[in-house]
Amino acid sequence: MKKIREPLSDRVFLACIYVILFAILVIVLYPLVYIVSSSFSSPQAVVAGRVWLLPVEPSLKGYTAVLNNPRVWSGYGNSLFYMAAGTFISVLLTIAIAYPLSKRSFHGRTVLMYLLIVTMIFSGGLIPYYMTVKSLGLIDTRWALLLPQAIAVWQVFVAKTFFQETIPEELNEAADIDGCSDLRFLWSVVIPLSKPIVAVLALMYAIAAWNAYFDALIFLKSANLYPLQLILREILIQNSVDNSMMVDVRTMEARQGMKDLLKFSLIVVSSLPVLLIYPFVQKYFVKGVMIGSLKG
């Protein structure tokens, strides 16, 4: 059979779509490329605006300055800890609530579901939240970044939907008859069958933990507990670059160039962990969003 040619108007329409999508691609990609290229250029080239696409006068000065900063190292270490510990706690708690809620024979699940939905559409607001955490004695401790935001209701729904779709109730009944307890079933049947959802949850929580700064801003006072994002805020946005990072820079212009270069390098360094895991988990990432789109 011969392929029917599309009418001219449709071909023009399709061509327009290609043009628009190409423009979007460039607009999204260009700032990212620009940052990476700038971070590898020389301070003079950055401040004079000679960087357009590729690095100009390649140098690693920005990275040396970043790596010589003790604050960046301490923030990096703290953030890695918050990310690892926080993700562990969050995934554990999310599965612990999502699995029972996914079982039809679990008495009280409707009430509990409403309990969760209420927290999604109404909250106490910032001040009562702060005062609660304060009265629990968590202010200025590492727990303040691990516990108050440990469970995201949306992720509970994602996990619950997944359990409902993948673990047939009959399987549980069969195990039940064989004398397998609920805990044992959860541990040796459900969790091994749920690797994709564990990956999705871990990914979502890990990104959120790495990128968060608000709770650290309101709950932490000691600089040695600060996550990387707070340090970044000081350097990148409040522009507080201490002189130890300004090795042999004399003129005003060179100073400005070094400052900007430092910022570009810092952006790359701080986004590295998340960008490194992205290609490996992209499959799960899309899957996670799609599971969430099914109404639970």
Partner 1 sequence: MSDRSNAPTAAGIRIASPGRAIRSGTLRKMRRHWQLYIVIALPLLYFLLFKYVPILGIQIAFKDLNAKQGIWGSPWAGFKHFEAFFHHPSFWTLIKNTVFLSLYSLAVGFPAPILLALMLNELKNGLFKRAVQMITYAPYFISTVVMVSMILLFLAPRTGVIDHIRTAFGFGSINYIGQASMFSSIFVLSDVWQYMGYSAIIYIAALAGVNPQLYEAAKLDGASRLQKIIRIDLPSIMPIMVLLLVLNMGQLLNIGFEKVYLMQNPLNVSASEIISTYVYKVGLIQANYSFSAAVGLFNSLINLALILLANFGARRITGSGLF
| Residue with token string 């986004």 | 271
Q: What are 52's two structure tokens?
A: 């357009």
Distance CA 228, CA 65 (A): 16
How many residues line the site for partner 1 (CB under 8 A)? 98
For residue 72, the minimal CB distance to partner 1 (Å) is 13
For residue 58, the minimal CB distance to partner 1 (Å) is 19
Residues 212, 217, 220, 222, CA torsion sign? positive
What residues from 155 to 194 belong to the interface with partner 1 (CB under 8 A)? 169, 172-173, 176-177, 181-183, 186
CA–CA–CA angle 204, 187, 210 (5° rounding): 20
For residue 114, the minimal CB distance to partner 1 (Å) is 9
Buried b / exposed e over 136-170, threshold 16 CB at 10 Å, is: eebeebbbbbbbebebbbebbbbbbbbbbeebeee
Region of 60-68, 160-168, 244-252, 256-264 interacting with partner 1 (CB under 8 A): 256-264
For residue 250, the minimal CB distance to partner 1 (Å) is 18
Q: Does 54 bind partner 1 (CB under 8 A)?
A: no
Q: Does 15 bind partner 1 (CB under 8 A)?
A: no
Question: CB-wise, 6 or 242, nearer to partner 1?
Answer: 6
Q: Does 237 bind partner 1 (CB under 8 A)?
A: yes
Q: What are 12's two structure tokens?
A: 């023009």
What residues from 101 to 130 belong to the interface with partner 1 (CB under 8 A)? 101, 103, 105-108, 112, 115-117, 119, 121-130
Nearest to 71 by CA among 263, 232, 211: 232
C-alpha of 268 from chain center:
15
Question: CB-wise, 151 or 245, nearer to partner 1?
Answer: 151
What residues from 143 to 162 belong to the interface with partner 1 (CB under 8 A)? 147-151
What residues from 56 to 85 belong to the interface with partner 1 (CB under 8 A)? none
Nearest to 234 by CA among 248, 250, 217, 246: 217
